[in-house]
Amino acid sequence: MTRDWWKHLILILGVIVVIAPFYMMVSYSFKSPGEIDRGEGGFFGRQEMMVDERCVKLRDPSRDDIAAAMDRFPGQTDAAIRTALVAEAEADCSMRPVVFNYSKAFTEAPLLRYLLNGVIVTASIFLIQVVVALPAAYALAKLKFWGRETVFGLVLFCLLIPVHAIALPLYIMLTKLGLTNSYAALVVPWTISVFGIFLMRQFFMTVPDDLIDAARMDGMSELAIVWRVMLPTAVPALMAFAIFSVVAHWNDYFWPRIVISGNRDLFTPPLGLREFKGDADGSFFGPMMATATVIVTPLIVAFLIAQKRFIEGITLSGMK
């Protein structure tokens, strides 16, 4: 045992605290409601066949159904036919809890549509943020103009404004423009990211002036320098910014909840989670957690892929 065991202990405790909610989420998405209620079944649950009560209730045979089923059960009483039909329905509606949870996640609400909305919104936000932030950061870092320090001061100042503080005025402005309940309402307020401008400006400060002058000598315009020289060298910083931006807006519940009311076609994934909250006929934790798992999976996959790019980056070593 090394002398550093206590460091590892602290780190392991930290990991447990961070991982625990995820563990619960994934575990619940596998289990049946009974197991969730009783807190049993380990991680995967026992995966015993279960009957979907709602499904059975929906198929409760009516008088017409029984009459129609007469042919299949010749010479039996109505009560016996009814029992047989209910048994059939129960057989059809029984499934493994994991199948139940995930199929509910996709059928109870249009989850695919929500995921698509999430992709459209986060991608548009990030792209427009980059289109705005890169030239702004370049100007703040590398161009000399009157009032540059003041403008940069304003950028820093804007970093201090919490979004919740300006949510109401933003909402009112969007309403006046008639933009609520549209993709624009989800995207437009976030297109100028002062954090992005600040982050990219700090990175651009480290790019040698000679590189930019060389580009000018080679005949590039200032905008060409931004897209052809600064953007490719800034990929690592851009990836870091992408994480902040995409995670924040993919997971955002607050803002979509405010500007999207009613029109379910515009729901983003977190809004989709609401579909399972406190239904009258019992708790729906299984499908809810399955939905949550489906929502976070794209993020985790994306960042596992991006991880390599993060670490290697493009070094500026070619310049010296």
Partner 1 sequence: MAGLKIENITKRFGETDVLKGVSLDIADGEFLSLVGPSGCGKSTLLRIIAGLEEQSSGEIYIGGAPVAGRRAADRNLSMVFQSYALYPHLSVAENIAVPLKMRRLSPLQRLPVLGRFMPGMRHQAAEIGTEITHAAKMLEIAHLLDRKPGQLSGGQRQRVALGRALVRDPTAFLLDEPLSNLDAKLRVQTRAEIAQLHRRLEATFIYVTHDQVEAMTMSDRIAVMMGGRILQCAAPDVVYDDPDTIEVAEFIGSPKINIVPVEVAETGEICLLDRKLDLLAQGRGKGVMSLGLRPEALRLAGEDAPIKGHVVHSENLGAELFVQIDAAGLGHPLTFRAAPRDRQALALGAPVGLAFDAAQALLFGADGLRVRDVRHHLPTQAEVA
Binding site residues, partner 1, CB under 8 A: 208, 210-211, 213-221, 224, 229, 232-233, 235, 314-320
Closest distance between partner 1 and the C-beta of residue 241, in Å? 18
Q: Cβ closer to partner 1: 58 or 205?
A: 205
Tokens of 225: 């320098």
Burial class (CB in 10 A: 0-12, 13-18, 19+), 62: exposed
C-alpha span between 295 and 112 (Å, rounded): 10
Closest distance between partner 1 and the C-beta of residue 209, in Å? 9
C-alpha span between 91 and 32 (Å, rounded): 17
Instruction: Find all residues with CB under 8 Å of 111, minimum gap 6, and list them.
Output: 105, 269, 272, 291, 294
Closest distance between partner 1 and the C-beta of residue 238, in Å? 12
Closest CA to 211 of 202, 201, 220, 198: 220
| Contact between 66 and 85 (Cβ < 8 Å) | yes
Alpha carbon separation from 125 to 52, 142, 184, 217, 285 (Å, rounded):
40, 25, 10, 34, 31
Q: Cβ closer to partner 1: 19 or 224?
A: 224
Q: Cβ closer to partner 1: 50 or 134?
A: 134
Q: Cβ closer to partner 1: 67 or 314?
A: 314
Closest distance between partner 1 and the C-beta of residue 227, in Å? 9
C-alpha span between 65 and 68 (Å, rounded): 5
Q: Cβ closer to partner 1: 176 or 320?
A: 320
Closest distance between partner 1 and the C-beta of residue 228, in Å? 8
